[in-house]
Amino acid sequence: MSQSFLNRKNRYGIRKFTIGVASVVIGSVLFGITPVLAQETITNIDVRKVETPLESGASVSESVSEVVSGGLNQLDKDLVGRLASATDNGVEINKESLKEEIPTNQEGNSENVPAEPNAGRGDKTENLPEETESTDNVVLPPRDYFARDVKNVGTVFEKEDLATNAGNGQRLDLAEELDKLKHLQNATIHMEFKPDANAPQFYNLFSISSDKKRDEYFSMSVNKGTAMVEARGADGNHFYGSYSDAPLKVKSGQWNSVTFTVERPNADQPNGQVRLYVNGLLSRTNTKSGRFIKDMPDVNKIQIGATRRANQTMWGSNLQVRNLTVYDRALTPEEVKTRSQLFERADLVKKLPEGAQVTDKKDVFESGRNNQPNSEGIKSYRIPALLKTDKGTLLAAGDERRLHHLDYGDIGMVVRRSQDNGQTWGDKITISNLRDNPEAKDAAAPSPLNIDMVLVQDPITKRIFSVYDMFPEGRAVFGMPDHPEKAYEQIGDKTYQILYKQGETSHYTLRENGEIFNSQNQKQTTEL
């Protein structure tokens, strides 16, 4: 078992809870959702234009010639499926311990999960019917649980769920980790972070520096949105070429990952290469040298955020840091892409449904302008409906709102037909326009109304239906009573609509042939 897994075992684990007399180990198989991908536009850039040649024939990993974006094809499909519903709470579960705690039986069947072994406290694992531990103690894995499991690499150190802010001077000191980095010849530094939406023009992410020599440091930073890396030796000379014009940028106010790798084939020679990735995509490779921290004899500070340079502290900002991991070798581009999968961004593909097409703009119903009615006296058309019939006829319908654009008042249901796929349209047909109330108290709501039409066609009978709401009150839902009145009444085996008369407390029912009966079931011979 690697030291990194032992370290994780000290921090994370599977909690148990007891229900009745059964102790159950909650396994990682309970979790799994597809990783979330932020959907943003990325420009594909040929990084061959920013490669610089090696100064000697030293061997390093093969060049990567383009910035690419895509799916998660590099991930094992089974692992992706198991990742599907995990909740991101910024913690991990020890994968090695999971394997040990779920052994395969003699027949190769691992479905029977044993109870969790004791945690080294001397207590026995046994059924405790009188004690029940809350399931709130169950620790869930992060969404990128499997992506973090990089093979054949050692973790130098790992930090999680940190923040730089005014309370800590926008700086987190990592002094206990410095000596571990001074001996690395090849390495990867992977950082997942979220800068403020109003982040400064230049700010540091992770750095190693000196409080004696101002210009001796290593820094991963952001300048005008561009992810950068810079390293300078005791004489102040730069180890790498410039990254100030590298192609890929981070997004302020959003989660990003920046990954730096350094490769130095021969410890006795400075030759090598460095690479910088943004959200899993290679931004730039530089082959000026493979120098790293071991080539900075005077550095004595290591930090996230604001950087100590001689007697000054600078380059601070407010950062949320999800993860900072240093590995003891340079990850490959494929490994970096997988490690950064939560931050992968892809072009939003505009794809029409099968058989659909985008036509030229054509005004079918035209509203009035500048609060004035159109030539037909109509202020507004709203809530469009469109149906293509089985014969290919297009039907366009909507609300014809005569007095204003609001959701009440004089509203009619209208439709137009096109026989040439929308090139030309027939005359307007009024389906419904309820009569006005000549004694309306509100001139803006003078009639009952219809509103919100949809069109459907019965696939069997081919009959076309126009379905819409109807309100007897002129202000629609805004005029309905606080306590709705009863609308229907069952008499015998039939149901009739109820009518109300102003000034009366009793009601009437509307029967067959338009006949009206009062609440005593007496036919009325006079108009209401």
Q: State the pTM of this model.
A: 0.50
Distance CA 441, CA 419 (A): 44
Within-domain flag for 225: yes
408 & 467 share domain: yes
Same domain, 506 and 405: no
Same domain, 198 and 253: yes
Closest CA to 116 of 102, 105, 128, 130: 102
**Phi and psi at residue 135, to the nearest 5°:** -70, -5
290 and 438, same domain (yes or no): no
**Domain membership flag for residue 5:** no
Q: Considering the domain boundaries, does residue 153 fall inside one?
A: yes
**369 within some domain:** no
Quick check: is 352 in a domain? no
Residues 441 and 458 reside in one and the same domain: yes
For residues 193 and 158, membership in a common domain is answered with yes
The answer to whether residue 448 sits within a structural domain is: yes
Residue-number span of the structural domain to which 404 is assigned: 380-479
- 101-105, 172-176, 444-448, 505-509: least confident range: 101-105
User: Would residue 437 count as lying in a domain?
Assistant: yes
Task: Please tell me the predicted confidence (pLDDT) of residue 67.
Answer: 52
Q: State the CATH number of the domain containing residue 279.
A: 2.60.120.200
Between CA 280 and CA 253 the distance in angstroms is 18
Predicted local distance difference test score (pLDDT) of residue 59: 60
- Both 451 and 408 in one domain: the answer is yes
Residues 449 and 493 placed together within one structural domain of the fold: no
- One domain, residues 296 and 433: no
Whether the CA torsion 405, 410, 411, 417 is positive or negative: it is negative
**What is the pLDDT, as a whole number, of residue 502?**
83
The tokens for 257 are: 């990952």
User: Is residue 187 domain-shared with residue 298, that is, in the same domain?
Assistant: yes
> For 45-100, how does the pLDDT look when each residue is reduced to its tens digit (9 = 90+)?
444 444 444 444 456 666 665 454 344 344 444 444 444 444 444 444 444 544 44
Question: 527 falls in which pLDDT band (50, 70, 90)?
Answer: low
Query: Which positions ≥6 away from 88 have C-beta within 8 Å?
Result: 142, 143
Q: What is the pLDDT of residue 461?
A: 97
Instruction: Give the span between the Cα atoms of 400 and 412, in whole angstroms.
Output: 5
Closest CA to 75 of 145, 139, 152, 8: 145
How many folded domains does the chain comprise? 3
What is the reported pLDDT for 29?
Answer: 37
Question: So what's the pLDDT on residue 446?
Answer: 86
Over residues 253-260, the mean pLDDT reads: 98
In this structure, the answer to whether residues 233 and 325 fall within a common structural domain is: yes
**High-pLDDT (> 70) share of the chain, %:** 73
pLDDT band at 472 (very low <50, low <70, confident <90, very high): confident
> Do 158 and 257 have their domain in common?
yes
Burial of 199: CB neighbours in 10 Å, binned 0-12, 13-18, 19+: middle
**Is residue 179 domain-resident?**
yes
Q: CB 146: neighbour CB atoms within 10 A? A: 22
